Structure 1
Amino acid sequence: MNIASQAAQIGLDWDTRTGAVTVPIYQTATFRHPGLGQSTGYDYSRSGNPTRQALEDGIAKLDGGCRGFAYASGMAAITSLLFLFSHGDHIIVTEDLYGGTYRLFEKIFNQYGLEFTYVDTSDTSAVTSAIQPNTKALFVESLTNPLLKVADISALSALCREKGLLCIVDNTFLTPYLLRPLDLGADITVYSGTKYLAGHNDTVCGLVVVKDPELAEKVYFHQNGAGAVLGPQDSWLAIRGIKTLSVRLDRQQENAQTIAEWLTRHPLVRKVYYPGLPGHPGHELLKAQGSGFGAMISFEVADPSLVEPLLLRTGLISFAESLGGVETLITFPEVQTHADIEPEKREKLGINKVLLRLSVGIENVDDLIADLDQAFAIEEAA
C-alpha cells in the first residue's frame, strides 16, 4: 500500500467495538485489572496507552520498522536512545546538526562519559576515518540542519554493519514519506514529530522507529524506565497530523522548489541551499534514495544588514523558530536554533551572519514570493 494511504489510515481500525474512525483519546493514568495476575495489556499509561500505541504502531508501519516509540519531545527521544550507550562509548555525529542536539551531546551527556566526534556525514570517507576502537554508533541527519547536506544512508548503513555500529538516522526533515532509512539499512530512525509529522505547530513530540525486535526491547526498557512518554492528547494530535502528511508535503515541496529557484535569481542573495536544485551536491543522491527533496531552504543574503529587515518586514512569513508546519517560518540559525554551537565552529561550518533558514508552508506560493520580494525591496530602495 502506498505510504500516503497508510498515513491517512492511522488509527482507523483501533476501536473495533464502536467502529470509531478516529482513535479515541484514552485520557487515563491507569487501567483496571480484570483479575489477580491478569491484564488487559495496559496497566499504567507510562508503560503503555492505547492512543499512544496507535501512534507508535502507525509510525512503525510508515517507516518499515518492527516497533515505534513516542516521546514528550524530539530531544526526549534522542536522550532515550543515548541510554543504549555506556561510559567511554564513542559516537560519530553529523557536524552541522540541530543546535539542540549538539547541546544535548556536549553539555549533558559528555559529563557522563560519552564521547562525540563531529564530521561531514555527506562524506562517507570522513565517517570511516572517524571510527575509533570504542566507536559504537553513527548519528546522522539524513538532511542536515541548517545546511541541507545529503547523507548516503545506504553507504553509511553498510559501513556501520561492517564495523558493528548502530546506524541512527534523524530523518526529521524528510519523514518516511520522502525517505525510509530503515529500507536503506539503518537500525533506528528518530524524528522531532513536532515538525512535519504532526505538521500544525500545535504539539511537541518525538518519535523513534526500530528495525530489530531485540533492539526494540532495549529501547522500550529505557522509554518505560525514564518515562518521557507522549501523553494521549498529544498522541492524538500527532495521529491527526500524520493523516495529512502526504498532501501537506506535496504542497510544501512544490512551494519550496519555486521559492528556491526564485531566490537563486535574486541580486541580494548570494547562495541558496536546497537539494531540489540540480546544482546541489546531494541532488542526484537524494533523487536516487528518496522520493522528494523536502521543504526546507537555507540561503545567504549579500550583507549582514539585510538579515534583520528580512526577519521583521515579512508579513505572511513569520519570524519564529521550529519548522515543518503549514505556516511558513523564517529563522536566523546563528542566534536561534544553533546558538549553542561555539561561534568558531558555526563560522567554520557556514552557519554565519548572513544565513537564513526558511521552512516553507502550504500558503499560495505567489503570496510567499511577494512577501519576500517586498521585504527585499525595502532594503533595495534604501
Structure 2
Amino acid sequence: MQKITLSTIAHKGKIAYRLHFAYNDALKEVIKSLPYIHWSATHKCFYAFYDTIPFKALYKQLRDLNLFVNYSQLQKTRGVTTYVKTPSPLKLPQLAESTQRDLSRFVRWMQEKRLAVSTVNTYHAVTSLFLQYLQLKQVANPDALWIQRFNHDYILKGGHSVSYQNQCINGIKKYFAFKNLEVENMKIERPRKEKRLPVVLSKEEIKSIFEATHNLKHRTLLSLIYSAGLRIGEALALRPQNIDRHRMLIHIKMAKGKKDRYTLLSPNILQLLETYYRVYKPKTYLFEGQEGGAYTSSSAQQVLKKAMRKAGIFKQGITLHSLRHSFATHLLESGTDIRYIQSLLGHNSPNTTMIYTHVSEKSLKNIKNPFDDL
C-alpha cells in the first residue's frame, strides 16, 4: 500500500495541502487527474487549496486510490478549519519474520473469502500496525483490552480520524477471526462517525456540465452515471450486454455487497448510447481505454473536473459520486417513492436512502417558517 503524506504550505497567498509521495509515474498521473489538484513548479509538489476542497473530500479521494494517507503534519491555520495532528509518541518496531508470514497468510485468507481488494489492503495495513504495537509491548496473547490500548496509544494520541479508527477496529477483529480468537463477545466501543450531508448539484448545473462536455464518450459516461444513479465502479464495469433496450433497464452485476440490481435506462440515454456505439464500437466494456480494458476511474474524474471548469461550477467536494447523489435527490423532489429510490441505488437499508430527504430542496421549501406568522 503506497503512502502519501499531507502537509501544509503557503502558496500564492493562500493555504494549501502539500501532497508528497515516493516517485511513481503511474501514481503521478493519477494524482494529476484528481479534481482540484495542481502542480507547483515553485514548491516542486502537487497541492490543493484549503478553500477549494475540504479535508474529508481530499482524504476520501486518496483513500479510494488505495493510498495510505499520513496527515500528521497538517496544521491548523487562521481562518481555516482543518485538523491538528500530533504524531504518535510510539516508535513501532519492524515486524518479526514469523509475524510477517502470519500476516501474509491473513491476506490470502481474506482473498479466499473474496473481500474487496481495497478492504484487503486496508485491513492488512491496520493489522500490521496493531501487530507491531503488540510486538513493542511484548504481548503474546492479545484480547479486547489490547485493542483498546492500541486505540488509545496509537490512534487517539496520533490524532487519527474517526473513520480510520473504525477501519482499525474492523481490520483487527477480522484478524482475530482468522486466528480463531473470540471476537463476538468483545465489547469494543466504536466512535460515532460524523453525519455529513451529500453535496448535490441542481438540474441546471447538471445540464450545464453535459453541455460543456463535447467529447461523445465523455458526455455519454457522465450522462449515464447521472441518469442511472451509478457508482463510478459500476459504470466502468458495464458491458454492452448489460444494456437491456427491450425492457429499458440497465443490469448492474456484482455491485457493492456483491449484489445484482436493475436501474433505469432513459430513452434519451439509449439514443445517446446508439450514437456512441456507432462511433466507438465497444467490445468488452461499454467504456474502454485507448489501449483496451476498462476506462479508468482517474480518467473519468478528470473528465468531470474539466467539464465543471468549463461550465463555471466551483462547488466544493464535487466528485463523480455527486452525480449519483443528485440523481437520488432529483427523483425524491419529483415525488418518487423512497423505496423505489432505495432499490435503484442498491441500498441495503432505507435509512441510507433517507439522507436525501435532508438535502431535498422541494421538501425544505414546503416547510412554512414560523417567523412568517409573527
**Which protein has the bigger helix share?**
2
**Which protein has the bigger strand share?**
1
Query: Do both share a fold (TM > 0.5)?
Result: no
TM-score, normalised relative to structure 1? 0.24
Name the larger-Rg structure: 2
